[in-house]
Structure 1
Amino acid sequence: MALVIPLSAFAQGDGPSTLAASEKRAAETVSRMEDAEKTVLTKTMLAVPLMGGSVPEGGVAGAGFAPAIPRLGIPALKETDASLGVAYLMGLRNDGGATALPSGVAMGSTWNPELLYRAGAMIGSEARAKGFNVMLAGGVNLMRDPRNGRTFEYLSEDPLQSGILVGASIAGIQSNHIISTIKHFALNGQETGRFSVDVRVSEAAARESDLLAFQIGIERGQPGSVMCAYNKVLGHKACDNDWLLNTVLKKDWRYKGYVMSDWGAVPGLSTALNGLDQQSGAQIDKAVYFGDMLAKAAKSDPAYAVRLDDMNKRILTAIYANGLDKYPATPGGAIDRKANADIAEEVARQGVVLLRNRGGALPLAAGVKRVAIIGGYADRGVLSGAGSSQVHGDKGPEVIVPKQGGGPVGDFISEQYHESSPLKALRAKLPNATIAYSEGRYISEAVTQAKLADVAIVFATQWASEGFDQPDLSLPSGQDALIAAVAEANPNTIVVLETGGPVMMPWLDKTAAVLAAWYPGARGGEAIASILIGETNPSGRLPLTFPASLDQLPRPVIDGASEVAESFDVMAAQDSKLSTNYDVEGSDLGYRWNARRGQKALFPFGFGLSYASFATGDLKVNATSASFTVRNTGKRAGATVGQVYLVSRNGEIKQRLVGFQRVSLEAGAQQKVSVAIDPRLLADWRDGGWSIAADDYAFALGDDAETLGKPVTVRMKAKHWKD
């Protein structure tokens, strides 16, 4: 499908210049480099007073720093996390914080690449204003397991949707003359044993799923850098993986930027020969391999000498293509905090998914008299995911729940809430209603409040962080029992889920309405309130499957869950023999797996309700595109997502999302939509390339991955091609 925003070579750093021109200029600079200068850019050092790091002269407290080379006009590299905004870093910079976007899965729920471009441009502008010129954003790992601790950071279980959305976000970030990464390359599907788990997968399965998401994202966003992952792939560390980095990324995809490591992911000097271009946060590894060791190897071994020049050329290509030298980022730039908060709120509004709405329980009736708000620290704020992606505003977190006994690591991944109270927002929007709050610690107290109210709204939370996975998909701390009791006391109970991903809902049939609000960011409370009262018509659609039970998953128990002692600390990581077999599901993740197995989800991929109603029809398909009409059959304006699926091939189930378009319509209006079909979604990977068999291919419109219209069959011609 077409993305109506300008994308260019890496970004818009040199205006009309091309990537080829930037690469040529980079090669010329390398030819003028002295030996000592060639290992300046090949490593970054942790730029915070933690784990052996410090803020260097000319640096900004952040994830990493490489000094400038003034003689050659090469700027310093100043790196910050992450995809959701400029990382808070526990307030170490004392610079007023930053605007927190909603979580990645919330952004995925918008199905809106234009909005994600704006969101990327916003967080990139804040990074630039704080002096950063490299943003460690672009999380696009597919959601192979909903219990993954980093599910909240990623976008989707589908390669097309993930690739399109991450490409838009990256392009927005890089429109600020800064570099964005795409990460974590690749097949980084769980946090359990994340430093050493070995992913076993066939090349075909990888190319048709996780790698395809990266490929589409790179094609559309042209990130200056690719960040490799912690895990192993087929026996080799991802950052020391010749097949991933040299064969797939640089040879097959002809990627011209540079590969940076994840922090603490470099096992040795040989990674340079296997495709790694920059060692990140080098103090965290067992040694600084890409400094003196690399220089010495380059003097004695021609292979290392050639690679060292190539490493510098790739880093400089990204610098020049994005204009880091021509448009230097310096701390103290202006930030329009209100405008940026408005973007964060719009993402939250479009990302909330209405999962249940029995009898029109939502929006709340205009004359509602008494509302009981229960749980989730809703009187104070909204939940945020933890770890390197943590973002906060001026005052830092509104609520902190300590984890792992305190200390720097415990503080870094503590449970934190943004200062955006749903309770305060609802009171502002319903000034004539009595709104009482119960923190939900005692079920009996919550039940009493629920019985007194016209409507009870339970805010349920599921905290997640990088470094570990969820043990299951229940709500922690007895919240399932709390919801069941409140719903028993008041049938008009609404549940607002602030979660990192899917959860089970044993209480679902007792409730009147359920909203998936995810981690809704800096203005999450206002966005939730706007939807509850009907000011905003919910339009989010699920970017991942809510399983009906753990037994529906390819791995009902996470591989290594009973074997590996988890640790966030890279230095304490275990080099275990843990492996996980992705060939169980192959390229059939999420809804594809359910289709293959004939399983019905609790809520399927693409699902979402609205206060309006929509009808899609008139599907026409050929080998390269599809068209259809969308009509708003309801009584109010709203938005929906038209979804086109391949449903079978030669009569056999083969489900793939092949196109989508978010459409906003006034009541009674209709619109014709056309989407391009990427031929890779119809093909198999075999014999070193993509192959489309000469078969009958059936396509259908879907309200979601399980609610499909009448199939349209197209006969495809045989085709084989390479990337």
Structure 2
Amino acid sequence: MAGLTLSLLATAAPVSVLAKTIVPQAAATSSPAQGTVAMPIWRDTARTPAERADALVKAMSLEEKLSLVHGLFPPNTKNPPADMIPSAGYVPGVPRLGIPILRESDASLGVANQVEQRKGDVATALPSALSTAAGFDPDLAYAGGAMIGAEARAKTFNVLLAGGMNLTRDAWNGRNFEYYGEDPLLSGKMAAASVRGVQSNNIVATVKHFALNSQETGRMVLDARIDPVALRESDLLAFEIAIADGKPASVMCAYNRINGDYACENKFLLTDVLRGEWNYTGFVMSDWGAVHSTEKAANAGLDQESGQELDSSIFFGKPLADAVAAGRVPAERLDEMVRRILTGVIASGLYDHPTPVSAQPIDYDAHAQVAQKVAEAGIVLLRNEGDILPLAREAKSIVVIGGHADVGVLSGGGSSQVRSVGGVPIEIPLTSGAAASFARVTYHNSSPLQAIKELAPGAQVRFVDGSDPAAAAQAAKEADIAIVFATQWQTEAQDAPSLSLPDGQDALINAVAAANKRTVVVLETGGPVLMPWIQRVPAVVEAWYPGQRGGQAIARVLFGEVDASGRLPISFPVAAAQLPRSKPVLAATGPADNGAGANAAMGDAAKLPTYPVTYQEGADVGYRWYAASKQKPLFPFGYGLSYGRPAFANAGFSGGAAARASVDVRNDGKRPATVVPQLYATVPGTATPRLVGWSRRVLKPGETASLTIDADPRLLARWTAQGWQMPPGDYKLTLATDAEHVIAEKLVHLDGGHWPSGRQSGSIVTATITKSN
């Protein structure tokens, strides 16, 4: 993995050197030795980013300060600057002080170019973030982020709207595929790794959407209602981990309200928590079209209005200047907004290493290998009765059915859409709905059919499109192996209407399974789907949206070229009735248009009614909800099979100052085995376990390894009026292969402790814990 990461960084374009800048104020310089030229403080790399940013602010005019706190949305900008390129956003720089233009790009899964604003511009498309999370491997998340950052830099972008990490509270959320699942530790650690990878290229990354952007339909009018303590111990904890460990230069606030206030004018989130408790020094940017006021937003802690043309007014333009002049927004607050923006720009390395002025070469072949490795690691083997998989190369006849597997693999829609290297074999515009202006049903040019043919050169491999279940069943009956590709397209701005596979695919699978007992189902979905046919199909593989090398990755897993090694970052229900909300809230309760304004145009939300959504599950998200409600999902969080035969023994647990588990594991199989033992803890005073750590290891046939998992103390704490407290007492530690299947468990006594928010993980945290009296 280290070699892969290093090779990625080597592809980043060389940085250019800024020209000498004019020093406008002698006061903002370091004291020079006699006979030497004074260095501006903002150029002094021995100073902290905050000190350098403060010096820049003191050297700026009011007009220059105001220019940094609101940005253009290029598709809607009239009379654009000559150096603006089509993208998500543009904020002018201050050349005399060396402050760079901020060129922003959507980049959750690669440098986006959704509806081909930049004709002919392609980029490497990673698999969905759920796929990355399923790898349970932060090193892969880092490599993916580093790859995206390198391509962005080479394309002259320097602010990436990446780092999506909202917890999955509703399985049909249209944007689940962009996030890392239902667990705060996994989400926080994977997002942090991705952010570090992006920023290794000396550019700005964000984490988003702060916070509780858990539904897409009606995201502009939803008011997320949740107990404040539960919020701390779930969604905010995920962000706290990502920010402490990843150090993103920017945080993006969400569209929705939280407990009554819009996220982008929520003082509790943006000032009390983010600044006051977490000591975050970077800047808060708005989501595009998420600003509804000038004074309230600015005074609450919003630093930058993004994509201003999508708001009903340019709130941080003249209205902010007027508010500052009248004292309704203190001048010190404007200085603070600019200081935070510049602190993020400096801390990321962008100020000292500006992006090139013109596009640079990109090693797309090397980057494609990254995308493929991430896809392979994230593919989850859900069922494998009779060891149907891996497929034997000696198979005489294989029929591949459905899912457009003859030409490519499905991609999620919305702002994360990447126009991938290799072209787009299928692209279907939407004719209606909230996503129609910027989303298309798109496939990456990576054919599973072709990849299967290459791995089984002696087999007769044919394709049937699946539109006729009877014809598909007949083709399956004539083949040794039938592989059905089932798809579920999801997109930003609208939620899935249900968790069932669309377009009659359940009937197709039933027909094929009845005709051929050796049927394999490959799912390309944005999240969990229902599987009413599960007992009739011996093998099921979850491939998610597998990115631009998805066809090759799927085929390699099916044939055992690599192990089936992914683990679910999200629980799969037996039925929607098991979930905290059994159907999409607005689709169920709103007027005919999914809540008459539920999908309203950006900027118009202030004119619409508010729809409260109460998250009664509180901190018991995902697998914790199943435990609290005493239900069993179809497949639990952390679940996934391997082609090897791992056997666990000699589990041990220890407490005291820190919690730890150890276990020996042996691969008794004839193929490599990927093991991902997970450590869960039940904290005194709670009833549901929470993931506190994990380990990932690949074992050769016959190999034995001793694994140790240290519990992250952040997950052993409870939020109280005094801050995070780890109460002394007996904690139940559970070593398991997933949230349901236990290897061993034991009560251990922990000394307890407390510490401030914004803390990092590992020995730093453990060393700073002070024992409670």
What TM bracket, shorter-length normalisation?
A: over 0.9
Amino acid at match of 1:489: A
State yes or no: 1:35 paired with 2:62: yes
SS in structure 2 of the partner of residue 62 of structure 1: coil
Amino acid at match of 1:246: T
Match of 1:698 among 732, 744, 766: 732
Structure 1 residue 18: deviation in Å? Answer: 8.2
Question: 1:10 maps to which residue?
Answer: none
Structure 1 residue 700: deviation in Å? Answer: 1.3
SS in structure 2 of the partner of residue 484 of structure 1: helix
Question: 2:175 maps to which residue?
Answer: 150
C-alpha distance in 1 between matches for 2:106 and 2:647: 41
**What are the Cα deviations for residues 119-177 of structure 1, in whole angstroms up to 9, with x where unaligned?**
10001000001010000000110001111000000012000011011000000000001
SS in structure 2 of the partner of residue 23 of structure 1: helix
Structure 1 residue 192: deviation in Å? Answer: 2.2
Q: 1:406-485 alignment to 2 at 5 Å?
A: 410=436, 412-485=438-511
Q: Percent identity among equivalent residues? A: 47
Contact conserved, 2:291 with 2:603, CA < 8 A, in 1? Answer: no
SS in structure 1 of the partner of residue 744 of structure 2: coil
SS in structure 1 of the partner of residue 687 of structure 2: strand
Question: 1:643 maps to which residue?
Answer: 678
Structure 1 residue 217: deviation in Å? Answer: 0.4
C-alpha distance in 1 between matches for 2:446 and 2:511: 27
Q: 1:513-592 alignment to 2 at 5 Å?
A: 513-562=539-588, 563=590, 564-565=595-596, 566-567=598-599, 569-571=601-603, 573=605, 575-582=608-615, 584-592=616-624
State yes or no: 1:163 paired with 2:188: yes
C-alpha distance in 1 between matches for 2:609 and 2:129: 30
Question: 2:25 maps to which residue?
Answer: none
Structure 1 residue 549: deviation in Å? Answer: 1.1
SS in structure 2 of the partner of residue 89 of structure 1: coil
Question: 2:200 maps to which residue?
Answer: 175
C-alpha distance in 2 between matches for 1:486 and 1:638: 30
Match of 2:94 among 49, 69, 76: 69
Question: 1:9 maps to which residue?
Answer: none
State yes or no: 1:353 paired with 2:388: no
Match of 2:703 among 661, 666, 669: 669
Question: 1:714 maps to which residue?
Answer: 748
Amino acid at match of 1:540: G
Match of 1:401 among 418, 428, 433: 428
Contact conserved, 1:91 with 1:396, CA < 8 A, in 2? Answer: no
SS in structure 2 of the partner of residue 697 of structure 1: strand
Structure 1 residue 716: deviation in Å? Answer: 2.5
C-alpha distance in 2 between matches for 1:717 and 1:604: 31
TM-score (norm 2): 0.89
Structure 1 residue 708: deviation in Å? Answer: 1.0
C-alpha distance in 1 between matches for 2:719 and 2:305: 32
C-alpha distance in 2 between matches for 1:512 and 1:412: 39
> In terms of mean alpha carbon deviation, does 300-309 or 230-239 score higher?
300-309
Contact conserved, 1:47 with 1:54, CA < 8 A, in 2? Answer: no
Amino acid at match of 2:691: L
Question: 2:277 maps to which residue?
Answer: 252
> In terms of mean alpha carbon deviation, does 629-638 or 249-258 score higher?
629-638
State yes or no: 1:367 paired with 2:360: no
Contact conserved, 1:382 with 1:418, CA < 8 A, in 2? Answer: yes
Structure 1 residue 409: deviation in Å? Answer: 5.5
Structure 1 residue 222: deviation in Å? Answer: 0.3
Match of 1:338 among 351, 361, 365: 365
Q: 1:346 to 1:468 in 2, by over 3 A?
A: same
Match of 2:640 among 599, 603, 608: 608
Q: 1:17 to 1:138 in 2, by over 3 A?
A: farther
Q: 1:409 to 1:353 in 2, by over 3 A?
A: closer
Contact conserved, 2:114 with 2:416, CA < 8 A, in 1? Answer: no
Structure 1 residue 501: deviation in Å? Answer: 0.2
C-alpha distance in 1 between matches for 2:423 and 2:436: 16
Structure 1 residue 265: deviation in Å? Answer: 0.2
Question: 1:656 maps to which residue?
Answer: 690
Q: 1:240 to 1:19 in 2, by over 3 A?
A: farther
Match of 1:626 among 660, 676, 682: 660
State yes or no: 1:100 paired with 2:125: yes
Match of 1:46 among 70, 73, 81: 73
Q: 1:456 to 1:708 in 2, by over 3 A?
A: same
Q: 1:246 to 1:18 in 2, by over 3 A?
A: farther
Q: 1:22 to 1:107 in 2, by over 3 A?
A: same
C-alpha distance in 2 between matches for 1:486 and 1:5: 42
Structure 1 residue 55: deviation in Å? Answer: 5.3
Amino acid at match of 1:673: L
SS in structure 2 of the partner of residue 40 of structure 1: helix
Contact conserved, 2:679 with 2:711, CA < 8 A, in 1? Answer: no
Q: 1:183 to 1:530 in 2, by over 3 A?
A: same
C-alpha distance in 1 between matches for 2:179 and 2:639: 18
SS in structure 1 of the partner of residue 300 of structure 2: coil
State yes or no: 1:214 paired with 2:239: yes
> In terms of mean alpha carbon deviation, does 592-601 or 603-612 score higher?
592-601
Contact conserved, 1:638 with 1:665, CA < 8 A, in 2? Answer: yes
TM-score (norm 1): 0.95
C-alpha distance in 2 between matches for 1:53 and 1:567: 26
Contact conserved, 1:297 with 1:305, CA < 8 A, in 2? Answer: no
Amino acid at match of 2:70: K
Amino acid at match of 2:390: P
> In terms of mean alpha carbon deviation, does 635-644 or 268-277 score higher?
635-644
C-alpha distance in 2 between matches for 1:625 and 1:336: 44
Amino acid at match of 1:82: A
Q: Which runs of 5+ in 2 are unaligned?
A: 7-14, 18-42, 758-773
Amino acid at match of 1:678: D
C-alpha distance in 2 between matches for 1:568 and 1:410: 12
Amino acid at match of 2:268: W
C-alpha distance in 1 between matches for 2:343 and 2:623: 39
Question: 1:203 maps to which residue?
Answer: 228
Amino acid at match of 1:692: M
SS in structure 1 of the partner of residue 706 of structure 2: strand
Question: 2:315 maps to which residue?
Answer: 289
Q: Which runs of 5+ in 1 are unaligned?
A: 7-12
**What are the Cα deviations for residues 319-374 of structure 1, in whole angstroms up to 9, with x where unaligned?**
11122232221331121000000000000000000000010100112210111100
Structure 1 residue 411: deviation in Å? Answer: 5.8
Contact conserved, 2:400 with 2:462, CA < 8 A, in 1? Answer: yes
State yes or no: 1:301 paired with 2:327: yes
Contact conserved, 2:414 with 2:435, CA < 8 A, in 1? Answer: no
Question: 2:349 maps to which residue?
Answer: 323
Structure 1 residue 694: deviation in Å? Answer: 3.1
Structure 1 residue 304: deviation in Å? Answer: 2.6
Contact conserved, 1:193 with 1:576, CA < 8 A, in 2? Answer: no
**What are the Cα deviations for residues 593-631 of structure 1, in whole angstroms up to 9, with x where unaligned?**
111121111000000001002133423232424131333
State yes or no: 1:26 paired with 2:53: yes
State yes or no: 1:509 paired with 2:535: yes
> In terms of mean alpha carbon deviation, does 560-569 or 214-223 score higher?
560-569
- The alignment of Structure 1 onto Structure 2 pairs a total of residues equal to 708
Contact conserved, 1:355 with 1:513, CA < 8 A, in 2? Answer: yes
Structure 1 residue 667: deviation in Å? Answer: 1.6
Question: 2:520 maps to which residue?
Answer: 494
> In terms of mean alpha carbon deviation, does 290-299 or 499-508 score higher?
290-299
**What are the Cα deviations for residues 556-595 of structure 1, in whole angstroms up to 9, with x where unaligned?**
122222301443742465622211111x111010111111
Contact conserved, 2:667 with 2:702, CA < 8 A, in 1? Answer: yes
SS in structure 1 of the partner of residue 48 of structure 2: helix
